[in-house]
Chain A
Amino acid sequence: MRSTHPFEQAEVMAYLDGEISADRASEIAQHMQQCAECEELAAGFRDLSRELSAWEIETSPERLTNEMNAEFAAAARMQPKQTPSAPVKLTPIERWIAPIHSLRGRPWVWAGAGAFAIALLVVAAVAVPNFLRARPAALVAAREMELRELQKRLVQQQVASSLENNQADERYSVSVDDKSAVATVPSPPAPGTPASTAPMIARTASLSLVVKDFAGVEAAVKAVVSRHSGYIGELNTSTPSDAAKTLSATLRVPSAQLEPALAELKQLGRADQESQAGEEVTKQYVDLAARLKNSRATEERLLGVLRNNTGKVKDVLEVENEISRVRGEIEEMEADQRALQARIDFATITLSVTEEYKASLNGAPSSTGTRLHNAFVTGYHSVVENIIGLLAWLLESGPTLLLWVALLFFPIRWAWKRVRRALTTVRKPVAAQV
């Protein structure tokens, strides 16, 4: 039909039903005047409609009208008639309720509001306990901070008082020495003992450098260290032929010289990584000083006992043994104190220098089999990693996703149905004729 006629048969039918545009209708009308086949088709449709009109239905029973009247009367009783012209005075509460009341017949608004309220509740249920937990945590953190501040102040005070005590002890021991002429050598003042109440900090720094020319690095590092009156704790150099050359060193420079030394070291190449840290050892130092003081006093007393002892040889030997034990302890503690002092006086720089490596073409390429094997193994690992990652993600997020799906499934399905319905329904807005 389409091949011989410019219209589809259904269009002829739509034309007869008056369901086609005016332009198209006039075209079809013209065509039908010339086309007997289309005219016959139209006649067939007209006959059919005429034939269908033979099916008639009796008039509705009077009962229907009566029942509707009764229904209408009942409805009117339940809902008193409102005259639109009479302005209704609303109380403030009624005015507030009116917009809510006007939404009575709009279930989608209620459904949307319900879904939003549920979502809000869920968010609140998740967020509120976290918030409540966070508040005590914040309070605890603040208290801890205050305590730390307090401890710091106390330690500073202790340091100040211990220094004063040390000086007084020395004075006292000298006067005792003068009086009793005991050949005890007062311990030399600890090198670098802080004269102020500043905290004692053991400083460390870590520096990674990448250099283009590796040849002069070692000499340059040594020069920097000697310029700043430091020393090299450890130095390792690795110069493999088929990989980047590396140098790792532990340098000790006076704490005051740390910054200039680092600055000079950084000029050797490109700084890849740099970090600095400071460990406060004031408390450790003060503890050690106090213990040392006690042990020295003990030694002093034992020596006094030995001097005045006129008893048995056995007792003398016991006192001597005790003196040697205390002496050992004192030496150990002095060594610790010196080490600690060294850590405070000399900062530690952990230096790592790597040559900027340019791969040579000398190396024989891997065989195809090896490469394929390696690729397969890598691929296998990648698949396994992905599967594990996916499973982990599902286990981690699955319950939350399920919760949201359960919450939003029905509102979304309901909204989707409305949208679909709205798309299929041809809305013809009625002109505001009233």
Chain B
Amino acid sequence: MATDEQLILEFQKGSREAFGELFLRYRELIYAFFRRRLKDTARAEELAQETFVAILRGIQRYEPRATFRMYLFGIAYKILANDRRKLDQNSGGAGSGFDLPDPSAPGHTETGMWVREAIAKLDGNDREVLLLREYEELSYEEIAGVLRVPVNTVRSRLFRARLALKEILVSVPGRSVRKENALNSSI
């Protein structure tokens, strides 16, 4: 199976199939990336599309300097940051930078809402590192590349986020039952 890096280079040379393969590989990951960070499903979909369009349009500028994952999530993170900035400007700086989802919203099918709520209580910088590690499964180096911070900072933020999250989750009432449910569902 061709690696992501081989595919993107093939796409750069004009292979439509290579881009189709990359889109299939990362469609869900990119969509989930935005869904975990935004309240609005439609906005998440829109930004996911924007990310792939950016790859599509900027393919001539692509240089194989880092892993494709880092390149892709770097673009996604930049698009998210721009969107948050616009939202902050429109709301007069009142934006939180991390939207809590509305469980009653139509089409809402998220699970593990207590985890979501606990994550929402984390510091913004720590939370981003945690999300990129736990859900996007990026390496420390890739996270450092996406967030443009040193690797050691990534490690210390991740450690801090995990300790804080443990503390928060311990204090959640009825968590043990949920934990068992989570374990059962994962099995």
Task: Please report A residues at the B interface, Cβ cutoff 8 Å.
Answer: 9-10, 13-14, 17, 19, 44-45, 47-61, 63-65, 67-68, 71-72, 75-76, 81-84, 104-106, 421, 424-430, 433-434
Contact = CB atoms under 8 A, between A and B. Distances in A.
B14 A428 contact: no
A430 B27 CA distance: 23
B151 to A, nearest CB: 6
B10 interface: yes
Contacts of B81: none
Contact of B112 (A47, A55, A429): A55
A59 B5 CA distance: 25
B49 A17 contact: no
A67 B49 CA distance: 8
A427 B183 CA distance: 38
A61 B134 CA distance: 23
A55 B134 CA distance: 11
Interface in B4-62: 5-6, 9-10, 13-14, 16, 19-20, 23, 27-28, 31-32, 35-36, 45, 48-49, 52-53, 56-58, 60-61
A63 B148 contact: no
A65 B27 contact: yes
Nearest to A427: B65
A13 B148 CA distance: 22
**Range of interface residues on B (Cβ < 8 Å):** 35 or more
A322 B20 CA distance: 123
Contacts of A429: 64-66
Contacts of B31: 57, 59-60, 64
Contacts of A82: 13-14
Contact of A84 (B13, B61, B145, B178): B13
Contacts, number: 149
Contacts of A51: 115, 169, 179, 182
6 contacts: A56-B110, A64-B48, A105-B60, A425-B144, A427-B145, A428-B70
Given A58-B109, A65-B27, A84-B13, A424 B67 contact: no
Contacts of B139: 19
Given A51-B169, A60-B31, A424 B6 contact: no
A50 B115 CA distance: 11
B140 interface: yes
Interface string B150-187: 11000110110010011001000000001101110110
Nearest to A426: B141
B159 A433 contact: no
Interface in B80-123: 109-113, 115-116, 119
Contacts of A48: 162, 165-166, 169
A72 B16 contact: yes
A49 B134 contact: yes
A56 B151 contact: no
A17 B166 contact: no
A112 B24 CA distance: 39
Contacts of B186: 50, 53-54
Contacts of A428: 65-67, 70, 141
